[in-house]
């Protein structure tokens, strides 16, 4: 058992450890909705990422601010760029002692004529101001000061972030933790901090632990908590001593030792079973076209930290349909798509908000359609 939790206990911790994409916003919404429906009062968001999609980060921030839960956000090493948006939504904003923050201006790739570039610049300036105002709301700095800091690309240490109020608490140093080299690049920083974050191990159901304890003569009441079970196990482990008179080889295993061995076996079985379940659900998503083979490691990692929500997310993802197939289906329907093909009626803004990854697919696979979408916003 790790951290005093058991399988079957609702997970209250969300880990954001890779580049932020739009699906993270949907994943976080599911995570929070389930906790809220269960009457849970608190949740923790652990973050170690260099950033990603500004729109995704903003959606995550809005969802966190609107949650009924009391949210604690923890900078586990690096909170950069778009990742600062969900971090800033925490009522409590903690950071590890050697953690770093990075703020810079919003960026995007734009092509086209001068009028297109001017429109893009105006949009970028508006996003920069909006971001600066978000930072202002959770710090002692003004929006104007934040805009200047963003323009210069500012890096803050944990203590600097604490001084201006962006971080509300610096956590104590852990044994063996060494600050990264000052010249370390962003990608290297992310990897370095990932190596410091302990992996969460699968845990057992409370009922299984109670049954194992019962075989050792310890019966817990029906309303026993995880803490009660852990205390009982610790007490049993302290009682396991070699007899003073009869050699252990002659007396055989006691019921107590058998019960503790059974608990250990249950833990091992959970690890094996969970590994197989994760592999099955990820492979199924790949075969159905919901994700690509290149994304296997990413979703496997997510499932290890939060199997229930990741499996649900994979099940809700639509099977991929090529741009050419969608176009052909629309043509066969007289140019009027319906159901899954209603996306043919989406404009550029709709694609950006609802399916950023699909928009990138269009840009790569159907540049003419992508250009038509761009022309539509001029």
Domain spans, the chain? 18-196, 206-316, 323-375
pLDDT of residue 350: 77
* Single pTM value for the model: 0.54
pLDDT of residue 305: 65
**Which residue in this structure is represented by tokens 């923050």?**
101
- The C-alpha torsion from 257 through 263 and 269 to 273, rounded to 10°, is 180
332 pLDDT tier (thresholds 50, 70, 90): very low
pLDDT of residue 228: 72
Could you say which of 3.40.50.10330, 3.40.50.2300, 3.90.226.10, 3.40.190.170 is the CATH number of the domain covering 18-196? 3.90.226.10
Instruction: Convert 334-373 to b/e letters by CB count within 10 Å (16 or more is b).
Output: eeebeeebebbebebeebbeebbebbebbbeebeeebeeb
Whether the per-residue pLDDT at 243 is higher than 60: the answer is: no
The whole-number average pLDDT for the span 318-337 is 49
């Amino acid at each position: 058992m790790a951290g005093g939790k058991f399988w079957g206990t609702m997970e209250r911790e969300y880990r954001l450890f890779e580049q932020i994409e739009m699906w993270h916003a949907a994943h976080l919404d599911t995570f929070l909705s389930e906790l809220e429906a269960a009457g849970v009062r608190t949740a923790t968001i652990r973050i170690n990422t260099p950033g990603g999609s500004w729109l995704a980060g903003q959606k995550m921030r809005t969802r966190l601010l609107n949650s009924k839960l009391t949210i604690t956000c923890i900078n586990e090493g690096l909170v950069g760029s778009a990742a600062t948006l969900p971090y800033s939504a925490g009522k409590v904003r903690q950071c590890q002692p050697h953690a770093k923050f990075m703020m810079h201006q919003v960026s995007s790739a734009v092509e086209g004529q001068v009028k297109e570039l001017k429109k893009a610049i105006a949009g970028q300036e508006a996003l920069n101001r909006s971001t600066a105002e978000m930072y202002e709301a959770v710090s002692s700095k003004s929006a104007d000061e934040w805009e200047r800091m963003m323009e210069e690309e500012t890096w803050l240490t944990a203590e600097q972030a604490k001084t201006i109020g962006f971080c509300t608490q610096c956590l104590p140093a852990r044994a063996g933790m060494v600050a990264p080299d000052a010249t370390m690049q962003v990608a290297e920083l992310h990897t370095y901090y990932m190596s410091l974050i302990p992996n969460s191990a699968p845990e057992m159901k409370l009922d299984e632990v109670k049954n194992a304890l019962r075989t050792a003569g310890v019966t817990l009441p029906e309303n026993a908590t995880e803490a009660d079970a852990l205390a009982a196990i610790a007490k049993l482990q302290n009682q396991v001593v070699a007899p003073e008179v009869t050699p252990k080889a002659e007396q055989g295993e006691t019921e107590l030792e058998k019960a503790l061995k059974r608990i250990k076996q249950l833990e091992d079985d959970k690890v094996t079973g969970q590994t197989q379940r994760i592999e099955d659900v990820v492979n199924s998503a790949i075969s159905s076209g919901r994700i690509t083979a290149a994304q296997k490691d990413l979703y496997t990692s997510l499932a290890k930290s939060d199997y229930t929500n990741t499996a649900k997310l994979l099940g809700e993802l639509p099977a991929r349909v090529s741009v050419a197939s969608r176009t052909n289906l629309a043509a066969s329907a007289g140019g009027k798509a319906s159901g899954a093909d209603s996306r043919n009626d989406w404009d550029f803004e709709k694609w950006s908000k609802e399916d950023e990854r699909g928009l990138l697919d269009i840009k790569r696979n159907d540049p003419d359609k992508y250009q038509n979408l761009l022309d539509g916003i001029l």
